[in-house]
């Protein structure tokens, strides 16, 4: 079972790395709001610390950073779109962060690793949705540039 968790962590890391710098956004096209960029950077740091906690069997680190992820997701800057799908992804992210904290409390490393992968995939899906929604909006309502 530990081997499966290790594979899950490796997959999670690979997925997370695809969502790094700029989270897939083209900075020339759509420069991010500074507060949003800072929030996403904090989310990335906390996510990386969760992974570190999983890799080192540090349940305190997993729990602390899962709770930080929940707090980040409640900040006003978090809500960058007003779509039903965005709401679903945000809620799924919070549920995964809560589950991660519970996994840490229960000292269940395998469950934490799998939940981490789910959390990361939710991030990737949400960032993709945001990009696609913004691209569609730009096509319908050109900026005149």
- The answer as to whether 123 is a domain residue is yes
- The answer as to whether 122 is a domain residue is yes
- The answer as to whether 76 is a domain residue is yes
- The answer as to whether 66 is a domain residue is yes
**Under a CB-based contact definition with an 8 Å cutoff, are residues 62 and 50 in contact?**
yes
Burial class (CB within 10 angstroms; exposed 0-12, middle 13-18, buried 19+) of 86: middle
Mean of pLDDT over the chain: 82
In the block, residue with structure tokens 């949705």: 129
- The answer as to whether 129 is a domain residue is yes
Contacts of 75 (CB under 8 A, 6+ apart): 39
Whole domain around residue 88: which residue ranges?
A: 2-12+32-140
Whole-model pTM: value is 0.73
The pLDDT tens digits of the residues spanning 36-94 come to 899 999 999 999 999 999 999 999 999 999 999 999 999 888 888 999 999 999 999 99
Pick the closest to residue 127 from 50, 49, 35, 16 (CA basis). Answer: 16
- The answer as to whether 20 is a domain residue is no
Radius of gyration, CA atoms only, the chain: 16
CATH number at residue 6: 1.20.120.10
- The answer as to whether 19 is a domain residue is no
- The answer as to whether 124 is a domain residue is yes
Total count of domains within the chain: 1
């Amino acid at each position: 079972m530990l081997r499966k968790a290790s594979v899950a962590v490796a997959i999670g890391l690979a997925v997370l790395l695809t969502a790094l710098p700029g989270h897939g956004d083209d900075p020339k096209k759509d420069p991010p709001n500074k507060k949003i960029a800072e929030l996403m950077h904090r989310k990335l740091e906390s996510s990386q610390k969760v992974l570190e906690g999983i890799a080192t069997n540090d349940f305190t680190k997993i729990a602390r950073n899962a709770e930080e992820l929940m707090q980040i997701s409640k900040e006003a800057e978090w809500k960058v779109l007003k779509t039903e799908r965005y709401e679903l992804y945000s809620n799924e992210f919070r549920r995964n962060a809560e589950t991660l904290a519970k996994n840490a409390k229960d000292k269940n490393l395998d469950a934490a690793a799998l939940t981490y992968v789910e959390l990361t995939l939710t991030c990737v899906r949400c960032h993709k949705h945001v990009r696609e929604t913004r691209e569609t909006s730009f096509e319908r309502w050109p900026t005149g540039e």
